[in-house]
Chains A and B, each alone.
With several copies, the nearest count.
Chain A
């Protein structure tokens, strides 16, 4: 029986056009750069715009035991109020919740959760592109928790974009930095010690 180290589950949810899948890819690739094990499962509502899109990322110190869709998440990034109920029921007491306050409408239960209000879409617009809102969130997550390092995230950007999108590299790196700078550092460290 493999007994793994800590596994950190991250859920991302939003609607099409917010860059959720790219954000998830960035986290996953950054985790590899940080020499961690990682698993990512994404799903999105097909061809029509405005559909839901979500992703599960698990980062761990050893082989990952968690299945592709996890029952409970250590942290979550919520970009839009649609479809957030799926995330809600998977949060545990103590889970981390990053909310895109620019867009989110509705009540957020704050008892027992570590909630961070982040005006991600605003920050993204300021950083140059509204489409990078989710990437902003990932930058913030990195600052808050060190789940993945900022350096790794920055390095992951070119790997995660298709060849014909290389012109977007700097835009996304800027968004990461903007998000990273928008919150306190190490508020809730993901890992014991400091491997990265």
Chain B
């Protein structure tokens, strides 16, 4: 997946509303299914392919996202990566 952006997620601030999930154009955000934060809410995880488009941060009612544009786009394929791997 060509990944041009990245987001930092303040998972403790999330209220699990799912708005970001639908808003993300490349659909790279996925909701946890079993894990919840301290207040009991599920929260989003990021799969590769973020474009840094800010859709998630603009629609999140709880200001959970920080959005970055990568200096250089990278092609991240999760399967290829080690658990602690740096992208190529």
Contacts and interface: CB of A to CB of B under 8 A. Distances in A.
Interface of A: 16-17, 48-50
Interface string B11-32: 0000100000000000000000
A37 B40 CA distance: 37
B39 interface: yes
Q: Main secondary structure on chain B at its contact with chain A? A: loop
10 contacts: A16-B40, A17-B40, A48-B15, A48-B39, A49-B39, A49-B40, A49-B41, A50-B38, A50-B39, A50-B40
Interface string B25-55: 0000000000000111100000000000000
The 3 residue pairs across chains A and B that have the minimum distance between CB atoms: A50-B39, A50-B40, A49-B40
A178 B15 CA distance: 34
A105 to B, nearest CB: 15
Contacts of B39: 48-50
A181 to B, nearest CB: 30
Contacts of A16: 40
Given A48-B39, A50-B39, A50-B40, 7 more contacts: A16-B40, A17-B40, A48-B15, A49-B39, A49-B40, A49-B41, A50-B38
A17 B39 CA distance: 11
A7 to B, nearest CB: 36
Contacts of B15: 48
Contacts of B40: 16-17, 49-50
A49 B41 CA distance: 8
A49 B38 CA distance: 10
A14 to B, nearest CB: 13
A135 to B, nearest CB: 20
Nearest to A47: B15
Contacts of A50: 38-40
A125 to B, nearest CB: 16
Contacts of A49: 39-41
A83 to B, nearest CB: 15
Contacts of B38: 50
A131 to B, nearest CB: 12
Nearest to A16: B40
B34 to A, nearest CB: 14
A49 B15 CA distance: 9
A122 to B, nearest CB: 19
A50 B38 CA distance: 9
A13 B39 CA distance: 18
Nearest to B39: A50
A48 B41 CA distance: 10
Nearest to A17: B40
